[in-house]
Each structure stands twice: as structure tokens, then as C-alpha cells.
Amino acid sequence: MRLRNLLKIALKSLTKNRMRSLLTSLGVIIGVGAVIVMIAIGQGAQADIEQQITALGANMVMVFPGSSWSHGVSQGAGSRNRLTLDDAEAIRERATLVTAVSAEVRVSAQVIGGDSNWSTSIQGVDPEYQEVRDWSTVAGEFFTARDVRAKAKVAVLGKTVADNLFPGSDPVGERIRIRNTPFKVIGVLESKGQSAYGSDRDDVVMVPATTALYRLSGGRYINRIFVSAVSTEASKATEDELIAILREEHSLEPGEDDDFRVRSQAEFLETATETSRVMTLLLGAVAAVSLVVGGIGIMNIMLVSVTERTREIGIRLAVGARASDVLVQFLTEAIVLALVGGLVGILLAIGVSVFLDRVIGMTAIISPGIVALAFCFSGAVGVFFGYYPARKAARLNPIDALRYE
Amino acid sequence: MSVVIETSGLTKVYQMGEVEVHALRGVDLTVEDGEFVSIMGASGSGKSTLMNVLGCLDRPTSGEYILSGKNVSELTPNEFAEVRNTRIGFVFQVFNLLPRTTALDNVELPLLYDHTGHVRDARAEAVAALERVGLGDRITHEPSQLSGGERQRVAIARALVNRPSIILADEPTGNLDSVTSVEIMGLFKELNSQGITIIIVTHEHDIAEYTRRMIEMKDGAIIRETMRAGRQPE
Ligand SMILES: Nc1ncnc2c1ncn2[C@@H]1O[C@H](COP(=O)(O)OP(=O)(O)O)[C@@H](O)[C@H]1O
Ligand SMILES: [Mg+2]
């Protein structure tokens, strides 16, 4: 009965002082809402980046020639270039943690076909490249291992090249010339759009690695080796395996530096995740400011009303309220305001996040931990500033509380 | 007749920085059950200070205060609150009603803090108290919607609602015009005739005329007592 009376008193007091109640909850709402939305945006961006990189194949491992980007300052790509088709072959034969291997030879060239010509990047690869990069053809087909062995003069066009050389018609079966060598178009690749760095991934012509090396570039060395590890978890072990195989291939003595570099997509992922974590942290700092601003709002409105409330406490004490009765009332008021404000803030944040997600197309991920944190902080500020002045007043003589100004 | 209030050597000293203000300098006062007492005196003579001590709103610096046989200085804070809640009704010059709160809710307030558990229906008792002071038709009005006299009636209803045996009123007519003052004094007189002990502070002689016993204070002490025989104004 008594507790029910006290709760009744608290709720009545809240509805009686609507403006004060509203302003107090507003502080909590701003604090909670802003923090949740900020962090949701940060984590959304992080997830976006991770997803983009994972889409490239999280189990992909790449071998680069041993130019010195390992030492920070580039000494020129390929300055110690010692990656060959034999290396790719050795990996294919001996690596156990690998499901697909493809060499990559890159040549820039003018392609003549149809009635026009087009400058593009020629990529000499193996058929397994399709598996490693998860890149299929939409027309015709990709070349085979036999084409590679035969250095066949066949080409698969990227979407951009196909559209430019053969607008409106099917390029499969057509003839093109690359550096004066005739090629037969046997397929068209599906469109991949822009890369993470903004270049057009469809502006490419794929030919067998051997063809590119012996008929187009005329060199000995290849640019990269792409490897698919059996799983993402195995990518570190795969790296070690590749290093062992290549060191043996290159007859490197123990203690001698690698003349190649191995990097897994998982490492890229780590770097990118690290970057976006920094961003989330930054947004978090902004959010923390909102929390503090919200907290100050709560504090202000509570302190402004302290005179009026002290007199109110005096009246209550004078008619027989115990100090503990007054405290229960004020604590209840503060908790109710903090809870209501917190819930509204959370709902608002969810609304804004959904809006960003659906309408603006930004990824926003609400994390329960942050929701709890924001809720607890603003709640604590609300309760502290609602309760602490009341505690001081409730300890006064009734007459001193009545006289307070 | 039994003694309800008995003080001996009550003093109250306010410390104002370096200066000590002796608001009460040894007050000995005995009030019997059912008495109607007025306290008079110049401003600053210590009337309010004495009333606050008697009303358990404040504690004296020294001296004894026996309320219905109980030594008040030995009460715990919660027992102190209970005395204010159930034994004494206090009426202030400035009403001290909760703002933006209906007359009914204001009057109901003491009942909500009742710890004895004897309150059955707080609403009904609050309405009854308002009817007793003649405000049965104003129960949903807020203080700002009431006249000064009506506000003081609400305050008196609040003082009455928990059926105290004593009502203390510190200049209850100080903020009221003379016609309203007469009405309020009539109300106190009626309550007194129903058996409630009443002590009021006033500095107007014609208000004090309503009481049988007049006490005069000066510089924190009682200097004169007058018992009036015969009829008092109706
Ligand atoms: N809270 C206080 N602090 C300091 N001095 C006070 C306080 N209350 C009253 N006084 C002083 O005590 C004396 C008596 O005051 P009070 O009892 O209010 O007189 P009255 O009600 O007779 O006018 C006055 O001199 C007044 O200034
Ligand atoms: Mg006074």
C-alpha cells in the first residue's frame, strides 16, 4: 500500500510537470539515440568493407614477384622479378592446401576488332583463374588447359571491351588482333563492375598465360600467381607452404631473403578492418560527445528545478513524509524518465538506422552492447541528477526545506 | 484536563556566521487538551520559531518538549515524521500547497504518507475534510484557481485530514483580507469546539480576541499571559 502510494505520487509528479519531464527525457533520448546511430554507421561501414573484400574470395592467396615493397620504398616493380610459369606449375603439383592455381601475365595492348580498336589490359591466365576469382563467362566459354599448353590464340573479352569492339552484336566467334597477332574470341566474361579502387574490372581481355607470355610479352617472368586455399582458416598455413615451395624452387639458402612475396586476402581483410575500426572509434568519440551533451541537458534541467523541488520536498516532509518516502519518489521519477527516454532513444535510433539502410542505402548495424552502454550511461546521469539533489533536500529539516531559495 | 504540550527552557539559537541569533530564550509553556491559544508579539519575537519547534518541523537548541507525555527530543527522524503526519496539523501563512495540484490531491497527501495503516479510503477522507472546511465544490481546483481564503481552507483541510489532536497555525490570516480572516477564525473556533487543541500565531488583536488564552512574546520569551473570561465573538 505504502509503496504503491509512493509510486502513484511519483507518476503524478511526472505528469504534473510535463515540460520538465519532457526536457529531461530529451537529454536521455539525444544521448542514447545519437550514440547508437553513430556506432551503427561506423559498424555498417566496417561490415561493408569486410563484405567487399570477402566477395573477392577470402581464401585467396597471392604471390608477387620480390620487388622491394616489403622494405617500404619501392625499388621499381619487378626489379628482382623472379616469378615464372614453372613456379606456378610447382605450386600446382606440390601444394597440398590448394584447390586452384593460376599464373597471371599482364600486358597493355591495343586490340583491333570489328570496325574499331581499344586500348586495354591483356591478362594471361590459367583456366583455374575462373575459380580463384569466381568469374564466369556469360557467352561462349573460357579456354582450357589444352589451350594453355598449346599457347592457343584464343581470347575471352571483358564486358567493356566486348561492348566497345562489337557494340550490339555477339563477339563469340569473331576475330581480333592483339599486337598484330590474330585471336579468336571464344567467350565473354560476366560483368564485375568497379574494383574497390575505382578501376573498371571489365576493361580486360583474357588469354592463356602461355600465349600472353610467349606471343605477346616475349619475356620470361609472370606478374602474379593466384592461389585458392582450401579454406579461409587455412590461408596462413597455405602461405607458409607456398613460401617453402618457392624457396626450394628458387634455390634460396637459409637466411637468404625471399625474392617473392606472399599475401593472403585474409591479411588485406585485417588491414581494412583495422582502418574501419579507427573510423568507428572516431564516430564513437562524436557519439560520446552527444552523450555528454545529453547528460548536461539532464543536469541543467534538474538543477534549475532544484529550488522548486526543495520547497516541494519541504511541503511533503511537513505533512509527514519520511526522508525515505521522498527518496523513493524522486528515485522512481528519475528511473521512469531515464527508462522512457532510453527506450524512445533506442526506438528513434532503430528508426534512423532503418531509414539509412533502406532509403539512403547506407549500411547501419545496431550493436546491442552499444545500446546497453548508451542506455546505462544516460540512465545513470538521469538518475544521479534526479536523485542526488533530492537526497540533499530530504535530509533537511522540513522548515529549512520550506525556506530554501 | 490532560496536558498535551509541555515545554521547559526551550531555546533556539541560529548561527549567522559570527553572530548568534537567540530566537528563543527559555520558553516554558503548558497547553491542555482542547485549549484555544493565541500567541502574539512583535515581528522577530520568536513566534514562528516556537511554532516550528512545537510542530516538529524544527528541533530546539536546548530545552525539553513533552508532547502527550512523550519527550520529543528522543524521537527518531521517522517517529518525528509520524508525529507531523498523525498528531499535529500545521497551517502556514503562505499556505504551502503543492502547485499545479488539485485541492483533493493536496489534502490527500498526508494520508499517502501514513505509516500506521489505519487509512481506509484516502480519497473519501480527503473529500470529507474538504467538505468540513466548506470546499466540497472546489475539490478539482488547483491552488492558482482558488482565492486566498479558499487556499487557506485547503491547507486547513490538509491539516485536518489525518484527524490530529493539535492544529498549529502560524499567522493563518496574515495574507487574507479582514472578511476572509473572520471566516477562517470562525472555522478554527468550530474545530476547537469539536475538541481539537488549537494554537494560532497572530499580531492582530481582534484575531486574538477569538481565543480564551492569549500569550505575548518578546525577544524569544513569553512575557505575559491573559485568560479571558466570558464570551468570545461568535
Ligand atoms: N533560519 C533562520 N536563520 C537565522 N535567523 C533566523 C532564522 N529564522 C528566524 N531567525 C531569527 O530569529 C528571530 C525570530 O524569528 P521568528 O521566529 O521568525 O519571529 P516571528 O515569527 O515572531 O516574527 C528573528 O530575529 C529572526 O531574524
Ligand atoms: Mg513569523
In this predicted model, what pLDDT tens digit does every residue of A265-309 receive, in sequence order? 877 777 777 887 888 788 888 888 887 887 787 778 777 777 888
Domain assignment of residue B28, yes or no: no
Q: Residue B207 sits in which domain range?
A: 34-59+78-227
- Report the nearest-CA residue for atom 10 of ligand 1: B23
Complex ipTM: 0.95
Domain assignment of residue B219, yes or no: yes
CB contact under 8 A, B59 and A397: yes
Residue A206: the pLDDT is 95
Residue A234: the pLDDT is 85
Of B58, B101, B115, the CB nearest to A16: B101
Euclidean distance between CA atoms A80 and B58, whole angstroms: 94
Residue B230: the pLDDT is 56
- The terminus-to-terminus CA distance of chain A in angstroms comes to 34
Domain assignment of residue B48, yes or no: yes
Interface test with B, best of A7, A399, A405 (most B CBs within 10 A): A399
Please indicate, yes or no, whether the overall pTM of this predicted structure exceeds 0.90: no
Mean pLDDT of A50-57: 71
Domain assignment of residue B2, yes or no: no
Domain assignment of residue B16, yes or no: no
Domain assignment of residue B6, yes or no: no
What residue ranges of chain B have pLDDT lower than 70?
Answer: 1, 230-234
- In this structure, what is the dihedral angle of CA atoms A200, A205, A207, A212, given to the nearest 10 degrees? -90
Q: Please list every residue in chain B whose beta carbon sits closer than 8 Å to the beta carbon of residue A405.
A: none
CB contact under 8 A, B81 and A322: yes
Average pLDDT, chain A: 85
What tens digit of pLDDT does each residue of B120-133 get? 899 999 999 999 99
The percentage of residues in chain A with a pLDDT greater than 90, rounded to a whole number, is 36
Q: Please list every residue in chain A whose beta carbon sits closer than 8 Å to the beta carbon of residue B77.
A: 322-323
**Amino acid symbol at A217:** S
What tens digit of pLDDT does each residue of B155-196 get? 999 999 999 999 999 999 998 999 999 999 999 999 999 999
Whether A366 has a pLDDT exceeding 90, the answer reads: no
Residue A352: the pLDDT is 92
Determine the distance separating the centroid of ligand 1 and the alpha carbon of B60, expressed in angstroms: 13
Q: Please list every residue in chain A whose beta carbon sits closer than 8 Å to the beta carbon of residue B90.
A: 318-319
Whether A71 has a pLDDT exceeding 50, the answer reads: no
Number of domains in chain B: 1
The domain spanning residue B46 has which CATH number? 3.40.50.300
Domain assignment of residue B145, yes or no: yes
Domain assignment of residue B144, yes or no: yes
Q: Which atom of ligand 1 is nearest to the CA of B201?
A: 21
Which residue from A41, A54, A39, A42 is spatially nearest to A270, judged by alpha carbons? A54
